[in-house]
Structure 1
């Protein structure tokens, strides 16, 4: 059987599904990530307005992920009952309403409560998105496709940072609202509207669309079914609980936690780090200028993510495409703490962002190769839940260390240590289990430590 990447029919299907599915998915995840992290820009005004310390802000930013972790697995068991488009659409609309309510924050306690419920609403979306992509794209194409989807994360910094800070300045005083209040309301509206559209218009599966020919539908459905059957035969999960607590799933979750630790620490603190550099070097930057500077690492991350995802797909190598960037990011983030001017610091943060965002989409090729059906949704949810626990650890530890030491340097060292853990863990996982060859009918190994290790991951 020809590879989907070399088959003429496969290429035709790939072009069409990418064109019709990915712009919507990209926009959905962009909104998701923006509504999750725009608190980092609001903090430039919000912290002083309601009396938040760095420690309290870090905890409030991170408590989102307590709810996110708690509700992740049950939310994605529901995914298989409700269906992807209704589930994702409902979640979008719900968190949009909660994001708008962030404009009503009046105290630290109020901040904590709303961030928690925002985490409840967003808990099911990312695993649902990853599961949805497995319904449309064969294994050999998922590296680049997942990279496109996850590119929304750095894009939310690249576009969302300047947008958020511009809204805070330009709408300050509108209807008697502070800039951060109007920013929350305006950025919540797209989530509500897109969620309603998704429920009624997002295609569920290839068989339901009119923009694929019958032969293209048959080819894609057969390709996906063949891959799912091969995985199912080799990876008998034995049920949801056995799947989510298997050594492999737990190890994957730990690696994802280590990668995401640095991402979320930067996402929630980079604007305030730039503001501290602004004060240290008396640069006189406005809020909008801080937003533009904080967006530069996101630009590096978006570009590196797409290019690295393509390279990994071409070589079909996964392990070192995750471990290598993780080690590079560890060195860069520690170096950022010892920079003597803002230019060097921004370059170091940009290298770190490029490294982290390059590793994330490659990482997500690993869990989706071992599980199918309900087990797939639950296993992916467990990995994502563990990884996103770093959303509490990263901001909380970074904020507490800043209050304790008066500098962000110690927090950057902790970020570097977690990235080293990610690299070591990825290599260890490659010794635990093999990854199916996309061109084969069935996986070559098993979840058996004694099974032979495939040459590429």
Structure 2
């Protein structure tokens, strides 16, 4: 039997034995849970500060400006080191790299319980934590790209990124319980938050290194046939779209790519609002229900826990903080699913930002006019809409960039946007202290969200061809790149077949088809 006949028989046998839907289901059951859990711990450790803010500010005497700067400086370290550290997983493998990061930020978080003694130590530890967590999400994005096709990345990343809101949903009641340990063994409640959070992360890192598969070939949950099929599919996708000779060149190229820089600018503005909400929600909610009117000026400025509220109320505030993130979790899942069904990114990313901006700006005026419950409802709806833009937005780079280049683009977007994570909390702290309330800061962050949404509506879509989708229609994916994971599964057999055919001499392929090697219907055309 000739080489083609043998290769063709192997190809057909492989395609017959492997069911794409079953492989996708295995990936969802074995890859997603580990990355979701890691992201969950990452955000819990990152935002533990917000739940302990009232107690911490009270015990250490921090004012709003000090707390806001300390919350925000985390993102300076995060932004400075994110892109350089993205080279790590490609050199050492995602499991090893993520384990190292996990161990580092676990130690820093636990150490913060006793090392924070004043503003300087507070700033230094928050900066170090940002450095430690900086490449976590780009590494998880890169790891997903090793297993999922671009068409499947939207749903896969949405399942992982929802951890950002779930962390708050779980973190609020957990924090409420832990804060009640205030005084146990002579340790403050906010110190217990850091100790237990950092310890849990440290132990999780050990299991992560043991059980997270490095790539399709090393995935023990796949059969040898499934592993080979998935490896061939991913290699074919990477080869078809990769044109960068080195990782350094890929980083330099994405830094000059207007498509990436445009998305980075949008994320910068959006992150100002999202992280502002994240770090100030407990304090804002505390003012809403305990101070009569969070928008009303106060002679001593907005309350930051420095004595205006009883420390005993912090556990109740932590529980109330759950509600915005329940809405955020449900909104993220619903919007990501609807984006897949409609095969559309632009409107599913832009509309939530505009709606969320309007609701956020209206929160305190509504609270002042209709009462705390109505204002709180606005805040809950704002979180539910704003967080839902994650899935459609962060999978856009996978449409026009692949492999290490896509990971570098994701890191650059996240890195630039992370400066918004510094600006948002710091602006709220400074403005609320100077103006005596949260009204102006919330209105400013709402306006930034509206601007971000409008910018996405006019994003010059990558991949649009003349006569294709207009500025306000579609997302440039079209027939070339489906958002639906079902469509990705159906197209998988062709990807595997193409990859395997590349290993067979073109003369054998042409002979088997009864055509000349140079004919237009050769294997090369099949590949195209």
TM-score when scaled to structure 2? 0.78
Question: Could you tell me how far 1:317 is from its partner in structure 2?
Answer: 0.3
- Contact 2:349 2:393 (8 Å CA) reproduced: yes
Which of 332, 348, 353 is 1:305 aligned to?
Answer: 332
What's the counterpart of residue 412 of structure 2? Answer: 382
- Tell whether the 8 Å contact from 2:57 to 2:67 is kept in structure 1 after alignment: yes
Match 1:401 to one of 422, 426, 431 = 431
In the other structure, the counterpart of 2:292 is 281
**Aligned positions of 1:222-371 closer than 5 A:** 222-232=232-242, 239-281=250-292, 286-340=313-367, 341-371=371-401
CA distance in 2, matches of 1:64, 1:218: 42
Q: Is the 8 A contact 2:358 2:450 kept in 1?
A: no
SS at match of 1:339: helix
The answer for the alignment partner of 1:25 in structure 2 is 35
Question: How far off is 1:182 after superposition?
Answer: 1.2
1:176, distance to aligned residue in structure 2 (A): 0.9
Question: Which string of whole-angstrom CA distances, capped at 9 and with x for unpartnered residues, describes residues 373-432 of structure 1?
Answer: 332222211111011111101000111110011111111111111112221222232445
> Contact 1:143–1:310 at 8 Å: present in 2 too?
no
Query: Hey, what does 1:137 align to over in structure 2?
Result: 148
Residue equivalent to 1:454: none
Alpha-carbon shift at residue 297 of structure 1 (Å):
0.5
Higher gyration radius (CA): 2
Residue aligning to 2:189:
179
Which of 428, 431, 440 is the equivalent residue of 2:458? 428
Q: Would the aligned equivalents of 2:153 and 2:398 in 1 still touch at CA under 8 Å?
A: no
Structure 1 residue 172: deviation in Å?
1.2
State the distance in 2 between where 1:72 and 1:113 align: 18
| Equivalent-residue separation in structure 1 for 2:392 and 2:318 (angstroms) | 28
- Please give the alpha-carbon distance, in whole angstroms, between the structure 1 residues aligned to 2:192 and 2:250: 47
Superposed displacement of residue 108, structure 1:
1.0
The answer (yes or no) to whether the contact 1:54–1:403 under 8 Å persists in 2 is yes
SS in 1 for 2:395: coil
List aligned pairs for 1:18-97, cutoff 5 A. 18-97=28-107
Is 2:442 the partner of 1:412? yes
Partner of 2:470: none
Residue in structure 1 matching 2:137, options 123, 126, 134: 126
Q: CA deviation at 1:236?
A: 11
Task: Give the 3-state SS of the residue equivalent to 2:222 in structure 1.
Answer: coil
Structure 1 pair 235–423 and aligned structure 2 pair: CA distance change class (3 A) = farther
Following superposition, which runs of at least 4 residues in structure 1 exceed 4 angstroms of deviation?
Answer: 233-238, 282-285, 439-442
Q: Relative to 1, partners in 2 of residues 1:331 and 1:8: Cα closer, same or farther, differing over 3 Å?
A: farther
Q: Equivalents in 2 of 1:337, 1:311: separation in Å?
A: 31
Structure 1 position 123, deviation (Å): 0.6
Find the aligned partners of 2:378 and 2:244 in 1 and give their Cα distance.
43
For each residue in 1:257-291, what CA deviation from the matched residue of structure 2 results, as whole angstroms up to 9, or x when unmatched?
Answer: 22222210010000000111122239998222111
Whole-angstrom distance in 1 between the partners of 2:363 and 2:266: 23
Deviates more, 1:137-146 or 1:310-319: 137-146
Alpha-carbon distance, 1:8 to partner: 8.5
Q: Secondary structure at the match of 2:344?
A: coil
Q: Deviations over 1:301-336 (max 9, x none)?
A: 001111111111112100110001111101110110
Tell me how far 1:126 sits from its aligned partner.
0.8
Instruction: Determine the C-alpha separation between the residues in 2 that align with 1:118 and 1:14.
Output: 34
Question: Would you say the 8 A contact 2:72–2:424 is kept in 1?
Answer: yes
Deviations along 1:165-221, whole A, 9 cap, x unmatched?
22011x211221111111110111121111122223211011112321233223322
Counterpart secondary structure, 1:103: helix
